Structure 1
Amino acid sequence: MVSIVYERGFYYLKHHIQNKEKRKYLGKTIPKNIEQLKSGFLREFYCQEWDDKIQSIGKNYQKEIKKIPQSIQLKNFESFGIAFTYNTQRIEGSTLTQIDTRDLLTFGVTPAKKSQTDTIETKKHYDLFMKLVTSKKRPKLTKKTILQWHRDIFDQTKIGEAGSLRSYRVGVTTNEKIEFTSVAEIPKKMTEFFRWLNRYDDYDKKKNVVEFACLAHYKFVSIHPFGDGNGRISRLIMNYILLKNNFPLMLIKNTDKRVYFKSLEKSQINHDEIHFLKWFMRYYIKENNYFY
């Protein structure tokens, strides 16, 4: 937690964790925008923890993939796509097991006695993912693109809603404190989101691409523009950004669903992305420690 300290007539921001401490000079009075300064200060504190590791992961990954034949890269994408589809679907309550998902996507075997909706959405999610990773062009993301992604996955299971913004209120069943964007505000928030997103599309490579992917996920899912499918689309956006910038893709495991949701909810309740950002960046680094 960031604290304000007063020493020898001057105010400072201070934050420490374990054996690390950082201070920021404020002046003789506490600025009016102190909460904004606290948030930025905390972000700087943690960026020092992960920036070098992320840059190392990116560089080493890009060196690695140059050595791999395209046919093997495709197989790697297929393997990742199956794991990603299983986990992203399972996080949202799919009944398909890992074996069900593998048999469906690898051998075309429809799982017995399992939800037809889950089966269709699993296949459609995987097909969309493979289309994205094998496409020669990776254009900027737009509202039209995202609506099409939603339509591609849900056109057979959410008829009338697939590819359309929601027209009703939604919330989080496990936490009444969280309220997503109102129906009336969704168009405005979506415009703001894509304006923000595309300011970073010609991304400065000195900045943190993984942090950008994390924030895109967080911002989109916090708008919650669809009646269903927001988590799956936000994780696709996240991986599209990583793909476009030649970074390892992110696999959020279903077994880590509880802490994943908890970090998201903490950021949403406090209106501060730092809580989700901390979890995400540490998770990404841990899952890609091979590359640094």
Structure 2
Amino acid sequence: MNPFYAKLDADIKATLLAQIRNLWTHTSTAIEGNSLTLGDTAFVLEEGLTVAGKPLRDHQEIYGHAKAIEIVYAWMDKQSSLQEEDLFALHRTVLTEAIMDIYKPVGKWKNESNFTNYIGNDGRQHLREFPAPKKIPTLMSQWLEKLNQFCAKPLTGINAVGAYASLHLDFVTIHPFFDGNGRVARLISNLPVLRSGFPPIVVPTEARQEYKRSISDYQVTIPELERLETLPGLPDNLERDHFRGLCRSYWEPTQTLLREAMEMQKKRDVQRSAAPEHEEDHGAGDNIGR
């Protein structure tokens, strides 16, 4: 397994990983309402300081998500299959706020039903109930099996996007935790992408409404979602295809950052290869680009 940064010098790699960490953390937390900008996020993570006037909770979310990214990167070399305890550990890292409520367990599956509000095709507001707590262990066992299958061997770019979209959409549709489902999904669904040698797929902040609407549109097509029994029971339909297409477009920001890093590396390699010739040809001028 060759990570996407494998051919980069240590300093270029460190800069690229910081850029992706900042972007990934900012976008994923902003989708959930975090008030810190991309610049704020970079400042907090790189300087270790707080931003005046911004909530402490928002800072904690930033640190938690950045640590969760490190966990996902570490799993790129994990030889054994991921288990539910791995997801619990990731959930505990993402949800940094101390919650003393037996009905809101952190690092465990939800223990009571959860709902969301959505606007239907009739233009009215409706409630959607996610799969019942008693269904979660079976559904997530099947989801983990699917994740581990995707991680078993390198994927092509098209298949990597497909894996990410499928895992992501299934996770948020199952909604196994009382909170943090979106952030965990946007993290863990990237594992097959990373293991295949690609940078992560990051949902842009400006796509927040489009992204959430696409997920909701898919979930509307599932009758009695709260009674979902098995993962194969989820429909493979046009709404699912649409979400897959969105995920493909969401890949561009990190691909651009990687291309810029690779160009920097290429420029440095050219300079290095030209250096010995330059030293031998005293006064001959700059040999870069010959």
Q: Same fold (TM over 0.5)?
A: yes
Q: Deviations over 1:18-67 (max 9, x none)?
A: xxxxxxxxxxxxxxxxxxxxxxxxxxxxxxxxxxxxxxxxx9x96xx454
What is residue 226 of structure 1 aligned with on the other side?
A: 177
What is residue 158 of structure 1 aligned with on the other side?
A: 99
> Does the 8 A contact of 1:138 with 1:244 survive in 2?
no
What is residue 279 of structure 2 aligned with on the other side?
A: none
Q: 1:134 to 1:75 in 2, by over 3 A?
A: farther
Q: 1:205 to 1:90 in 2, by over 3 A?
A: closer
Q: 1:286 to 1:153 in 2, by over 3 A?
A: closer
Helix, strand or coil at the partner of 2:108: coil
* Partner Cα separation in structure 2 for residue 118 and residue 233 of structure 1: 17
Cα distance, 1:71 vs. partner?
3.1
Q: Deviations over 1:132-162 (max 9, x none)?
A: 3367723433211111001122254334522
* Partner Cα separation in structure 1 for residue 213 and residue 27 of structure 2: 17
Match of 1:162, as an amino acid?
V
Q: 1:82 to 1:288 in 2, by over 3 A?
A: closer
> Does the 8 A contact of 2:151 with 2:195 survive in 1?
no
> Does the 8 A contact of 2:136 with 2:176 survive in 1?
yes
Normalised by the length of structure 1, the TM-score is: 0.70
Alignment of structure 1 residues 42-53 onto 2, 5 Å: none
Greater relative CO, 1 or 2 (CA 8 Å, sep 6+): 2
Match of 1:104, as an amino acid?
V
* Partner Cα separation in structure 1 for residue 252 and residue 51 of structure 2: 35
CA RMSD of aligned residues (A): 2.6
What is residue 185 of structure 1 aligned with on the other side?
A: 135
Helix, strand or coil at the partner of 2:251: helix
What is residue 115 of structure 1 aligned with on the other side?
A: 55
> Does the 8 A contact of 1:120 with 1:157 survive in 2?
no
Normalised by the length of structure 2, the TM-score is: 0.71
Match of 2:164, as an amino acid?
A
| Residue 195 of structure 2 corresponds to residue 244 of structure 1 | yes
Which protein is richer in strand relative to its size?
Answer: 1
What is residue 153 of structure 2 aligned with on the other side?
A: 203
Q: 1:133 to 1:75 in 2, by over 3 A?
A: farther
> Does the 8 A contact of 1:170 with 1:179 survive in 2?
yes
4+ residue stretches of structure 1 with deviation over 6 A?
A: none
Helix, strand or coil at the partner of 2:128: strand
101-110 or 136-145, which deviates more? 136-145
What is residue 82 of structure 2 aligned with on the other side?
A: 141
State the identity %. Answer: 24
| Residue 280 of structure 2 corresponds to residue 280 of structure 1 | no
Cα distance, 1:171 vs. partner?
1.8
Count of residues in Structure 1 that have an aligned counterpart in Structure 2: 230
* Partner Cα separation in structure 2 for residue 286 and residue 120 of structure 1: 25
> Does the 8 A contact of 2:131 with 2:174 survive in 1?
yes
Cα distance, 1:239 vs. partner?
2.1
Select the residue among 17, 29, 32 that pairs with 1:89. 29
Select the residue among 213, 227, 234 that pairs with 2:164. 213
Select the residue among 93, 106, 111 that pairs with 2:46. 106
* Partner Cα separation in structure 2 for residue 285 and residue 91 of structure 1: 18
Helix, strand or coil at the partner of 1:200: helix
> Does the 8 A contact of 2:118 with 2:216 survive in 1?
no
Q: 1:135 to 1:264 in 2, by over 3 A?
A: closer
Q: 1:126 to 1:189 in 2, by over 3 A?
A: same
Match of 2:132, as an amino acid?
S
